[in-house]
Amino acid sequence: MSLSPLQKVRYGYQPKLPAVLQLNAASIAGSGNQPTAAVADQDSVQAIFVHQYGKPLISFSQGSNPAMTRALTVGVILSGGQAPGGHNVIAGLFDGLKKGNKDSVLIGFRGGPGGLTDDNSVELTAAIIDEYRNTGGFDIIGSGRTKIETPEQFAKSAAVAKARKLDAVVVIGGDDSNTNAALLAEYFAANTVPCAVIGVPKTIDGDLKNEYIEASFGFDTATKTYSELIGNIERDAASARKYWHFIKLMGRSASHIALECALQCQPNVCLISEEVEEKKLTLAAVCNEICDSIVARAAKGMNFGVVLVPEGLIEFIPEFKTLISSLNDLLAAKAEAYAALNDNSARIAFVSQLLDAELSKLYGSLPQDIQLQLIMDRDPHGNVQVSRIETEKLIVSIVESRLSELKKNGKYSGKFSSQTHFFGYEGRCAFPSNFDADYCYSLGMNAWALIAGGYSGYLSSVRNLEKPASQWQAGGIPLTMMMNIERRHGSDKPVIKKALVELDGAPFQAFAAKRAQWAVETSYRFPGAIQYYGPAEICDQPTETLKLEKAGK
């Protein structure tokens, strides 16, 4: 394989670690004794996780624990969508295992959770690991979205764990993947399988976080990658002065990516799904707000601009949220009948007839391509695949109609031409920023410390992320502590609760204080490319979101 100059040099980058994880293995001690509770639906969650519920928070500090030096055999799984830094999690886990005992073994299960059930695996040696240090992607072992949820799958996982004599399995994934990790930990405990399960918080969407998980890995790199592209488009828009660019950004269930990119780039308009839901705005009202900016800028001779649209916006618009929820339940209940249809018109008619009158009318008012996108194959969790819904194009069509009305009424005399973009996959496998390279390596080594310390059912937690890495705090948070009950596939199930944008939080408030000015003026910022070498204030800075969240604490 031919290597780029950057790739060659990045192999040699040595990620920075929290001070406690720099100690020799026998000097790392964990502590915690206060029981914890689920974030919501405590009784229901406890009834499901009889063996795992209520475990304490764990914090690592300098001490004495000779057990940390025992030889371990550990399996690792990459689950769900890619995020920059996944390879460094595995490298940190591997280096931690070897720090504890040179005879420890790391086994990679290929293709996600299905690799565990099918025992599709490879021993990850130093030679393999060294080829992937500080690089993007999940290609070291691949990822997958298989869920371990049936009795047969749990039994097969247990059989592989026993046959391989695994001391632990590390699941690197998002909220759904780590929910699966919690269920696997509960099954192993209930069936006396001597194998721990540890999770690592991954998702570029940024919605897997709380007081103890300050950021999910990959968010830093992805938002910096998108912000570079948005800045480039802003510069082009200000140069050509003839296009409004509508940019959809990844973020299925939360608007953290859009908000972070807005803070970095200062576009004319940035929609925040959580605010749309809070204010109960209709799609027409959302588009009217965009038109207000277009009209105001046109009056100043500026027939150009940039609008950021969260990927999951449509699910937060009240009437569409109800429609999508009904479609999810309907398609789950009528799966066989729907699957038998092989014509798009028949599929649309089938769904329209089963919706109630009001929702059927709304569904029928949409362009046919949007109708089809709403009933495409569901993801493995039974939800609509919002990344395939061209919300940005739907918004443009409504904006064009509204501007035409305003022009007829003499309230708008500008010119409107649009370009649409979707930035998603461009950010999922980028070379990790220094922050993500350091954070992921720390999360991986911290996962080893949790395993060596005898813990199971925990999510690797590294805190104080606004400070230099040497001051980061390492520990673990019980997976059950993040749980609530949600409706999936037409039934109630335990899931890790997603962290949405807090409208009273510092990041949103900083954005809200400036957006009226940005809507009318050209206030663009151009973040430029991620920098890997140079002053720490240029290369090692966390996101604007993290800095603002931590500034008041």
Domain ranges (residues) in the chain: 5-218+432-488, 224-308+402-430+518-553, 312-389
**Beta-carbon contacts of residue 378 (< 8 Å; ≥ 6 apart):** 328, 331, 332, 384, 385
Please give the backbone phi and psi of residue 117, each rounded to the nearest 5 degrees, phi first. Answer: -65, -30
* pLDDT attached to residue 379: 66
Q: How far apart are CA 417 and CA 400, in angstroms?
A: 9
Q: How far is CA 153 from the centre of its chain?
A: 25
Taking Cα atoms as reference points, which of 104, 76, 102 lies closest to residue 90? 76
Q: How far apart are CA 486 and CA 249, in angstroms?
A: 25
Q: How far apart are CA 317 and CA 325, in angstroms?
A: 12
Q: Which fold is adopted by the domain 224-308+402-430+518-553? A: Rossmann fold (3.40.50)
DSSP type of residue 163: H
DSSP type of residue 430: S
Among candidate residues 95, 205, 436, 540, the one labeled active-site is 205
Q: How far is CA 24 from the centre of its chain?
A: 33
Q: How far apart are CA 301 and CA 329, in angstroms?
A: 49
Q: How far is CA 51 from the centre of its chain?
A: 28
**Beta-carbon contacts of residue 473 (< 8 Å; ≥ 6 apart):** 18, 20, 59, 60, 462, 463, 464
* pLDDT attached to residue 1: 63
Taking Cα atoms as reference points, which of 80, 160, 159 lies closest to residue 121? 160
Q: How far apart are CA 314 and CA 318, in angstroms?
A: 9
Helices (H), 475-543: 506-512, 515-520, 536-539
Q: What is the CA radius of gyration of the chain?
A: 24
Taking Cα atoms as reference points, which of 165, 148, 161, 170 lies closest to residue 188? 161
Q: How far is CA 154 from the centre of its chain?
A: 25
Examine the residue annotation and report whether 118 is marked as an active-site residue of this protein.
no
- pLDDT per residue, tens digit, the chain (553 aa), is 678 898 889 999 999 999 999 999 999 999 999 999 999 999 999 999 999 999 999 999 999 999 999 999 999 999 999 999 999 999 999 999 999 999 999 999 999 999 999 999 999 999 999 999 999 999 999 999 999 999 999 999 999 999 999 999 999 999 999 999 999 999 999 999 999 999 999 999 999 999 999 999 999 999 999 999 999 999 999 999 999 999 999 988 899 999 999 999 999 999 999 999 999 999 999 999 999 999 999 999 999 999 999 999 998 999 888 998 888 888 888 889 998 998 899 999 999 999 999 999 988 988 888 898 888 866 665 667 777 889 999 999 999 999 999 999 999 999 999 999 999 999 999 999 999 999 999 999 999 999 999 999 999 999 999 999 999 999 999 999 999 999 876 688 999 999 999 999 999 999 999 999 999 999 999 999 999 999 999 999 999 999 999 996 6
Answer yes or no: same fold for 5-218+432-488 and 224-308+402-430+518-553.
yes
Q: Which fold is adopted by the domain 5-218+432-488? A: Rossmann fold (3.40.50)
CATH label, 312-389, candidates 3.40.50.300, 3.10.129.10, 3.40.50.1000, 1.10.10.480: 1.10.10.480
What letters, b where the CB count within 10 A reaches 16 and e where it falls short, cover 125-145? eeebbeebbbbbbbebbbbbb
Q: How far apart are CA 53 and CA 439, in angstroms?
A: 27
Q: How far apart are CA 49 and CA 41, in angstroms?
A: 12
pTM for this model (two decimals): 0.93
Burial class (CB in 10 A: 0-12, 13-18, 19+), 449: buried
* pLDDT attached to residue 213: 97
Q: How far apart are CA 4 and CA 19, in angstroms?
A: 32
- Which residue is it, tokens 């290369």? 539
Rounded-to-5 percentages of helix, strand, coil across the chain: 45, 15, 40
* pLDDT attached to residue 389: 84
From residue 189, alpha-carbon distances to 50, 259, 371, 505 in Å are 9, 40, 45, 38
* pLDDT attached to residue 383: 67
